[in-house]
Structure 1
Amino acid sequence: MKILDREIGPGHRPYLIAEMSGNHNQSLDRALAIVDAAAAHGADAIKLQTYTADTMTLNLRMPGFVIDDPKSLWAGRQLYELYQEAHTPWAWHAPIMERAAQQGVHCFSTPFDFSAVDFLESLNVPAYKIASFENTDLPLIRRVASTGKPMIMSTGMATAGEIDEAVRTAREAGCRDLVLLKCTSTYPATAANTHVSTIPHMRALFNCEIGLSDHTMGCGVAVAATALGATVIEKHFTLRRADGGVDSSFSMEPHELRQLREETERAMLAVGQVSYGPTAAEMKSLAFRRSLYIAQDLQPGDVLTRANLRCVRPGFGLAPKHLDSLLGQRIGRAVKAGTPMAWSLLGEGPAE
């Protein structure tokens, strides 16, 4: 499949998405600087989130509308206030997308309701993302799929049955290019809770491209996912974690994005295909194998012994496996020390 002119699939470097989320800290200048940094450090795409506090939740402080998990990064925060702080103003979308185009990277977004889809269609985005928390919102999936644009869907928390229902809904509504992202919906996530072994199983089960939406720190999990066939990697991205922001603590900094780009490409190249025997690049290294060499000057009729027939480098003589069968044989002509052993050097028969 493709997003614009970028091919996505096995044999291609993983498509890297830098998720801006709320890391702009309500500054358009910072948002544009994030685009510049992501492009300069190897991202293929910048992703936004398109919502307002009013399209996400109700402005209430009742149970359920305030985060009561003491372990959450946002413990005690009212949902409405959190979404007000984190949202990307809709008026910023066009200038952010223009900057991305100038920098040669794609820019698309995650819509959270129909009005966001309509707005993003007016900007002619090249693709759409469905967030993990929306992967059971079948009406939204149906609306996005009806645009005919490529869809990238995170699968955090979803059962196989729920993923199947979402995939069927998308395909029936017109989606032809689909990527499912293995995702753990904790912030940050741990490597032990990521289970990237699911990636090849998802590919076989749903017959589409599979990637990773990664909330762990570092790039180790993304490299492992790439080795298991992930063709898309999404990571939250910021200029500096120390600058703060709703997602900053589990976001990558520019130098880490560069490392992610390099290491996932290495992982993709390293997977290769099933291969035995020397590669083309290894052919010259065959010379450094051991082989059998004449170790002393010999005359016709001399008997081969462990003293005058040695297993040494380089590898231009007979293979070491022939040593026992050669010991006790007679040499058929004069040979100098350093001559690679060959069958043609033997005389007519073994010594008696």
Structure 2
Amino acid sequence: MTEEPTVTIAGRPIGRLHPPFVIAELSANHNGNFDIAKKIVSSAKASGADAIKIQTYRPDTITLNSNSEDFRVRGGLWDGRTLYELYEEAHMPWDWHKPLFQHARANGITIFSSPFDCSAVDLLEDLNAPAYKIASFEAIDHELIKYAASTKKPLIISTGMANAEEIAEAIDAARQGGCTDLAILHCVSGYPAPAHDYNLATITDMISRFGLVTGLSDHTLDNTTAIASVALGASIIEKHFTIDRNGGGPDDSFSLEPVELEELCKSSKIAWSALGRVNYDRKPSELGNVQFRRSLYFVNDIEKGTLITGDDVRSVRPGFGLAPKFKCDVVGKVARRRILRNTPVTGDAF
């Protein structure tokens, strides 16, 4: 039997033998307010998330300050915005990182980040980040992957927009960088993404194809897709999280609110528990109902020495007699004792 892959983040083992690791993605939902960022962290903990994830970049480390058409978003949530404007608004100031890490640790929730360039990795290393997440848009940036991997910290790579060859190349880059604790996330990089785009069957193929801990970065608007993914082997679930979906930030509109995150944390763990293992044994919750299965009962009084006929025996509930499959073994036999109607068929009767 092949050993199940496992990664460990901040002492928490992650893999199919363990409950799903739920990550609340803070992203840009702080809306430029440090107090909101802190509230999101505290609320993620209260809702049952295993971790809160942030994003570490500055607008100049992720794009160029240009008004040309190449750098302008067309369509979708951010239509008309330049990339620099968008990331200037959305980024988390670097001087927030240390106090936010302290706040998360004081609240007892794991915090880590997606670095978007090597200087971000350096900042996060100074904060002793326990893991790194490579965002889908950066999954083709092998230099960044190798640099993050060189920290020897656990690495999660999101695979939105990447084909199978690009995923394999990203994995190779992580291995070349020295990563031994590696996970990948199936993802659709639409904001929001329709459930029918997710093709969750891909998760089972990713598990068999790449042999890694595999999860889901879910951009759908509810929890159905994420919960369904657990039954297919997803060991990590990442969802964007906000205090208020109507908060007006770049990512608020497709993020979960606290009640929804709490439901995701509970339901995903129930789904994992229900998945269990291959088991044909009688379950503890069934034991009290075994007596109500069908069995063979005599429906007529039968004198000793009399031939038992088909009319004398029926398959009925409860289950204290022989199993119905033995009816043919009973019919045609001679009663060895006097038999009373409405009594179970037992081996000593014939």
2:20 is the alignment partner of 1:14: yes
Deviations 1:289-339 (A, max 9, x none): 100012344331344345542221111211112224423433221233332
2:224 is the alignment partner of 1:210: no
Question: For residue 62 of structure 1, what is the amino acid of its counterpart?
Answer: S
Distance 2:126 2:336 in 1: 88
Distance 1:321 1:247 in 2: 62
2:118 is the alignment partner of 1:114: yes
Distance 1:313 1:87 in 2: 67
- Which residue does the alignment assign to 1:173? 177
Distance 2:86 2:262 in 1: 30
> Secondary structure, in 3 states, of the residue corresponding to 2:151?
coil
CA contact (8 A) 1:199 1:229 kept: yes
- Which residue does the alignment assign to 2:33? 27
Deviations 1:103-161 (A, max 9, x none): 21100001111111111111110000100000011111111000000001100111111
Deviations 1:31-85 (A, max 9, x none): 11101111001100000000111111112110111102x2x11111111111111
- Which residue does the alignment assign to 1:294? 298
Deviations 1:72-102 (A, max 9, x none): 1111111111111111111111121112112
Distance 1:257 1:313 in 2: 45
Q: How does 1:31-42 map to 2 (within 5 A)?
A: 31-42=37-48
> Secondary structure, in 3 states, of the residue corresponding to 1:83?
helix
* Structure 1 residue 220: Cα displacement: 1.1
Deviations 1:187-217 (A, max 9, x none): 1011110111111211222221101100011
> Secondary structure, in 3 states, of the residue corresponding to 1:242?
coil
- Which residue does the alignment assign to 1:350? none
* Structure 1 residue 280: Cα displacement: 4.0
- Which residue does the alignment assign to 1:183? 187
CA contact (8 A) 1:187 1:250 kept: yes
2:200 is the alignment partner of 1:196: yes
> Secondary structure, in 3 states, of the residue corresponding to 1:331?
coil
RMSD between aligned alpha carbons? 1.4
Task: Identify the range of structure 1 (304-313 vs 92-101) with the bigger mean alpha-carbon deviation.
Answer: 304-313
CA contact (8 A) 1:11 1:268 kept: no
The answer for unaligned runs of 5 or more in structure 1 is 347-352
Distance 1:328 1:118 in 2: 86
2:82 is the alignment partner of 1:78: yes
- Which residue does the alignment assign to 2:58? 52
Distance 1:248 1:100 in 2: 21
- Which residue does the alignment assign to 1:88? 92
The answer for unaligned runs of 5 or more in structure 2 is 1-6
Distance 1:341 1:132 in 2: 66
